[in-house]
Structure 1
Amino acid sequence: MSRIDAAPLTAVAFAPFGEVLEADGTPDKIINQGLCGRFHDRATLDIIEGCAGISLFKAEQRQLPLRLEMVERHPQGSQAFVPMSFDPFLVVVAPDAGGRPGAPRAFLTRPGQGINFHRGTWHGVLTPLHAPGLFAVIDRIGEGPNLEEHWFDEPYLIHATA
């Protein structure tokens, strides 16, 4: 079984796969009588034949090391995971290699970070490392197939960064 060490999530490292959603630095705009900073338009919603919708997911807490057996992708829409608690979670991605996933990579978010996968990006399932595992998920709502799964011949084992 091949080992993957999960690295800290950064915007630069994650850029080939999507955007990191976080409220770091100076807000783009101060609103609401000067009481709120707006970090504007931080994700590219890319939807084909449907519309963007917001759903709530409640996923079971997982532990590291984690056995990675499968990744999936959504060819008709981007997908954002926004935690509704201040807990980190695991993000797994893989580059496309001729219609199949290449070598997977794993990232650990910091509290307060979310992610948005580009349309068609191979990724692991929603993987909270703490309960309650509650997330807002922004993705395509529409008719037709929008899920491809790939099961690895040999699973990977994901560890926290050494």
Structure 2
Amino acid sequence: MSRSITADPLTQDAFAGFGDVIDTAGEADKIINQGLCGRYHDRARVDVTDGRAGVSLFKAEPRSLPVTLEMVERHPEGSQCFIPMSMDGFLVVVAKDEDGKPGRPRAFLSAPGQAVNFHRGTWHGVLTPLAAPGLFAVVDRIGEGPNLEEHWFEAPYEIET
């Protein structure tokens, strides 16, 4: 038996308890490069323990809604930032921690030009692009020791719009 979740638009207010929405909303903090570039400064907090922040590239297979959500994961030793390398939206799934396990998931649809940074220890779905090429820059912890916990749901969720 699956359970249904409706994906909402990704906004900073709705996502605040899970991480940062990275975008160019509002005025630029500073104009640089001979007046040709707006700098939107310090939009996310990279938070790692016992290691360092690194940049990797992920190429994920695009999916279509509805999406079946069977598991979520979290990274207790570092935040994880997904930055799409195209102007396509993607699906973002998160869940609050309830005594070491995820609560009911929430789903968000990003707008073109948005990225997310999951706070350290936040339960989240896997990278889920909704269009090709599914290429993302990912900023996360590089270091020794385990930094991945997975939780498989007894019954999957169906995420739809």
Show structure 1 runs of 4+ deviating over 4 A: none
Letter paired with 2:27: T
Post-superposition shift, 1:104?
0.2
Query: Aligned partner of 1:52: which letter?
Result: A
Residue 70 (str. 1) matches residue 65 (str. 2): no
- Tell whether 2:141 aligns with 1:130: no
Distance 1:85 1:69 in 2: 27
Amino acid at match of 2:16: A
CA distance in 1, matches of 2:66, 2:37: 39
Distance 2:22 2:155 in 1: 32
TM-score, normalised with respect to structure 2: 0.99
- Partner Cα separation in structure 1 for residue 7 and residue 60 of structure 2: 20
Residue 59 of structure 2 corresponds to 58
**Residue identity opposite 1:23 in structure 2:** T
TM-score (norm 1): 0.98
**Which residue identity does 1:37 align to in structure 2?**
G
Unaligned runs of 5+ in 2: none
Q: Distance in 2 between matches of 1:109 and 1:64?
A: 14
C-alpha distance in 1, partners of 2:132/2:4?
Answer: 25
Instruction: Describe the superposition over 1:1-20 as per-residue Cα deviations: whole angstroms up to 9, x where unpaired.
Output: 11000000000000000000
| 1:45-102 deviation line (CA, Å, top 9, x unaligned) | 1100000000000000011001000000000000000000000000000000000000
5 Å matches for 1:2-151? 2-151=3-152
SS in 2 for 1:13: helix
Q: How many residues align?
A: 160
